[in-house]
Amino acid sequence: MAVASRLDTGRAFARVLLPTLAKGVIVRRPAVTALGEKVRADAAAVATMRRFRARYGPEPLRLRVTGRSTALLLDPVDVARLLADSPSPFALATREKTAAPAHFQPHGVLISTGEERARRRAVNDDVLRPDRIDVRGIVADEADLLLRHVRSTGGLAWDAFAQAWWRAARRIVLGSSAREDVELTDMLKALRGNANWAYLHPRRNALRERFEQRLQAHLVRREPGSLASLRPPDELLGQAPHWLFAFDAAGIVTMRALAMGGEGEAGIWESARLWPTTPVILRESTELTRWHGTWLPAGTTFVVFVPYFHRDPDRLPYADSYAPDNWPAPNDPGLVPFSGGPGICPGRDLVLVAGSTMLDALRDHLDVPTLRAPLPVTLNHFGLSYFTRK
Ligand code: HEM
């Protein structure tokens, strides 16, 4: 098995892993995201990964990290195996993850194990289906109101988009009575901000309690037409924070899809391929596992750096172009914007329906200066704005 030199281990951290963490895996930090676009941090990270693959071959690359077995995946077939064989022997609940989301969703499925995980996952799979409530209707409604704003101001920038998007998200998850509860999502944002500094920040228990109480008050209403109506509140209290937080990524993907002239669900898929909002997928092995003839110990952390698999021109002729024909069933097992296997994002269909409804409603009314290939590896969504079509 290939073991990275000390210098290359340093490069893996300096150019691939740390810049990704600095952007904020949980909440995007505007200043760092904008800086990343200027210095083309993601392009440098993808280039570094391609050099690793050329130098060390397709096997998982072991990094020289003291006291810890860490392997960077370099082959799409290995990505498929890692995701297919989750949560056992490849657990989703890695040390890093249990430190991060614990700030805002201590009972989320992502950080659960064993039977508890199976039960919570089943709740997610049952509830997060776009056909159970009128997701399209809710989003179309909010898109209409947003278009009125767009017409009166002559354009659309991130802030106005985000406000409309969050209104739709609160309605979908909790119902129309939560539509204006900006404070709820702001509290979640503050808790998620802490999660960016997972290891360092003491948990803000008071804020978390206030957030949970407020969320609970919405859930107990079980408002018809919302996801909250579909199961008893005590089953959802641990899951709904992740749902609300994950709508952030769905909004970002939608706004970026607009920037490249994307259409429909394939536009949302492609936006998530080109600019993956979950740039790092982690697994931790619960037993000894064999890779290309070499055994890796239990407790090994496996790192999938998604932008490399989505943007590798050595493998993908369309790496830096809009290629909607990839979807819904891509030929390449390395295309995993929503992950894969049993840990695949249970919210993906909801995202595709909500995102494409918003995208298609806005597109025809905006004069979008469509980005052309080669599409940039980093696209700062905070900086996107469009004028009304004349
Ligand atoms: C563009 C939007 C989104 C993207 C790209 C996305 C992507 C992902 C990815 C990559 C994972 C798996 C991480 C892993 O394998 O370790 C995941 C997990 C998850 N996502 Fe999403 N997600 C999005 C939006 C949503 C939304 C809106 C919801 C809920 C309403 C949601 C609910 C979940 C849940 C509950 C999990 C944990 C699944 C588990 O642990 O089994 N996601 N998502």
DSSP for 204-270, written as a single string: -HHHHHHHHHHHHHHHHH--TTSGGGSS-HHHHTTTHHHHHHHHHHHHHHHHHHHHTT--HHHHHHH
Minimum-distance ligand 1 atom for the alpha carbon of 340: 15
| Pocket residue to mutate for ligand 1, from 345, 350, 359, most atoms within 8 A of Cβ | 345
**Pocket of ligand 1 contains residue 124 by CB under 6 Å:** yes
SS3 assignment, position 148? helix
SS3 assignment, position 288? coil
Q: 192 CA to middle of ligand 1, Å? A: 15
Q: 361 CA to middle of ligand 1, Å? A: 24
Q: What is the pLDDT of residue 199?
A: 45
Structure tokens at 387: 């004028």
Q: What is the pLDDT of residues 60-102, one digit of tens each?
A: 999 998 888 999 999 999 999 999 999 999 999 787 666 655 5
How many helices (H) and strands (E) are present in the chain, helices listed first? 16, 10
Q: What is the pLDDT of residue 200?
A: 46
| CATH 1.20.1250.20, applies to 6-388 | no
Helices 240-259 & 348-363 angle (0-180, nearest 10):
40
Please calculate the CA angle 264-346-316 and round it to the nearest 5 degrees. 55
**Pocket of ligand 1 contains residue 73 by CB under 6 Å:** no
Instruction: Using the structure block, give the residue that is written with the tokens 């948990």.
Output: 203
pTM of the model as a whole: 0.92
Whole-number Å distance between alpha carbons of 107 and 238? 5
Phi, psi of 159 (to 5 degrees): -60, -45
- For β-strands 70-72 and 301-305, DSSP reports them as parallel
Q: What is the pLDDT of residue 37?
A: 62
Ligand 1 atom 32: residue of nearest CA: 347
Q: What is the pLDDT of residue 334?
A: 98
Q: What is the pLDDT of residue 198?
A: 47
Q: What is the pLDDT of residue 212?
A: 93
For the chain, report the end-to-end CA distance as a whole number of angstroms.
59
Instruction: Using the structure block, give the residue that is written with the tokens 């989750």.
Output: 86
Structure tokens at 365: 């009314």
Burial 345-382 (b: 16+ CB within 10 A, else e): bbbbbbbbbbbbbbbbbbbebbebeeeeeebbbbbbbb
Q: What is the pLDDT of residue 29?
A: 59
SS3 assignment, position 2? coil
For every residue of 6-52, which 3-state class applies, written as one string? HHHHHHHHHHHHHHHHHCCCCCCCHHHHHHHHHHCHHHHHHHHHHHH
Instruction: Using the structure block, give the residue that is written with the tokens 């996952």.
Output: 121
pLDDT tens over the chain, length 390 residues: 789 999 999 999 999 988 877 665 545 556 656 655 655 678 999 999 999 999 999 999 999 988 889 999 999 999 999 999 999 999 997 876 666 555 556 677 877 888 999 999 999 999 999 999 999 999 999 999 999 999 999 999 999 999 999 999 999 999 999 999 999 999 998 887 765 554 445 566 788 889 999 999 999 999 999 999 999 999 999 999 999 999 999 999 999 999 999 999 999 999 999 999 999 999 999 999 999 888 999 999 999 999 999 999 999 999 999 999 999 999 999 999 999 999 999 999 999 999 999 999 999 899 887 788 899 998 999 889 888 887
**Pocket of ligand 1 contains residue 242 by CB under 6 Å:** yes
Q: How many residues does the chain have?
A: 390
**Pocket of ligand 1 contains residue 257 by CB under 6 Å:** no
Contacts of 384 (CB under 8 A, 6+ apart): 157, 158, 255, 256, 258, 259
